[in-house]
Structure 1
Amino acid sequence: MRPTPADPEAWNAYLSEGNATQARKRVAADVLIRDTSGRILLVNPTYKPGWDLPGGMAEANEPPQAAAQRELKEELGLTITLRSLLVVDWVPPHRPWDDQIAFIFDAGTLDDDTATALRPHDHELSELRFVTPGEASTMLRARLGHRFQAAVQALMDGATAYLHDGQPALPQRRVT
């Protein structure tokens, strides 16, 4: 017989068992940061090949927006305020990885002094660059490149994009 909320101890044990068997998702939280010329900030991680958007993986029980803010503070010394959510992308299992949910947030535009002074703050990044959106599209791996293009479009449209593996999963509509 299944416990009920009338027996809180048994009910919480039942819920804990269910929680332990639920699927877990990896969560990536990246940001789109621009300079006053409209160029996009890319970073070059030391732990994987290719260029990336600033951000990283969420820790256990960490909200995606907090993960993005933490990663920027750790890796670039930047304290940012997120402006909006641009992209949510469900990424299917690939190679050794289970599926994940990837977010891209808009972090706005850095003033010239901040952008010029920006440097990697830890060993996870070897360099950073501000590049045009077109350059960014060619520098990013295909999966991230599709997500990036959707983020740029979402920024222009004022609507969050929902993707499955970098491709639109729902019709894009502006919410008013």
Structure 2
Amino acid sequence: MNIEQEWEASYAGRDAAEFAHLAEGNARQARKRVSADALIRDEAGRLLLVDPTYKPDWDLPGGMAEANEPPRDALRRELKEELGLDPQVGDLLCVDWVSPHGPWDDLLAFVFDGGALTQQQAQGLRSVDPELAAVRFCSPEEAAQLLRPYVWRRVHVALAVLGGGGVRYLQDGHS
């Protein structure tokens, strides 16, 4: 039984006005933007970064979830659309609540383990989407210079979790 079926079963026979009241309350609740990124490495352990044309800095591969799209599915879609990749997306490493900034509302940023690409996969990797100006593998030290500070803090934590297990919750990249 999926969640929709479970919900229908628990509300079966209840008053339609109650349903309308719940729907009205739902419509007034805040909506969160959600992003899903992957920590993808090559065989040497270097990190895959992308250079989006619409941002001033480099970023992890991934992107924004569409309405009602699970973060893992959003990540798979974005990796396919932007890089032609269809990797096995691994465990969740961290979730970062990013406070409102510039024109943007707050955001929940999910970072998943994207695994390691073979040497052949890494060498053949190219952007297949005009949203990306470039892709590259780099050391963590280089990534720290290329990424915005709060993104680097998130990546740094994700790398630590990758080696030690568990999931971390962050706020603007801080524990």
Fold match (TM-score > 0.5): yes
Q: Deviation of residue 67 (structure 1)?
A: 0.7
Q: Distance in 2 between matches of 1:109 and 1:125?
A: 21
- Does residue 133 in structure 1 map to residue 140 in structure 2? yes
Q: Secondary structure at the match of 2:69?
A: coil
Are the counterparts in 2 of residues 5 and 11 from structure 1 also a CA contact under 8 Å? no
Q: Give the 3-state SS of the residue equivalent to 2:105 in structure 1.
A: coil
Structure 1: which 5+ residue stretches go unaligned?
169-176
Equivalent residue for 1:87? 94
Shift of 1:95: 2.2
Once residues 72 and 7 of structure 1 are traced to their aligned partners in structure 2, the CA distance between those partners, rounded to angstroms, is: 43
Q: Does 1:73 align with 2:113?
A: no
Letter of the 1:94 counterpart: H
Q: AA paired with 1:45? A: P
Higher helix share: 2
Distance 1:7 1:28 in 2: 36
> RMSD of aligned C-alpha atoms?
1.3
- In the superposition, the TM-score normalised over structure 2's length comes to 0.91
The residue that corresponds to 2:66 in the other structure is 59
The aligned amino acid for 1:134 is E
1:67 maps to amino acid: A
DSSP-derived class of the 2:58 partner: coil
Superposed CA offset, 1:130-162 (max 9, x none):
001111111101110111111111111112111
Identity over the aligned pairs, expressed in percent?
56
SS across alignment from 2:57: coil
Q: Taking structure 1 as the reference length, what is the TM-score of the superposition?
A: 0.90
Greater CA deviation, 11-20 or 60-69?
11-20
Given that residues 36 and 112 in structure 1 are in contact (C-alpha distance below 8 angstroms), is that contact kept between their aligned partners in structure 2? Answer: yes
For 1:32-87, what per-residue CA distance to the aligned partner results, in whole angstroms no more than 9, with x for missing partners?
Answer: 00000100000000111110000000000000011111000000000011110011
Residue 36 in structure 1 maps to residue 46 in structure 2: no
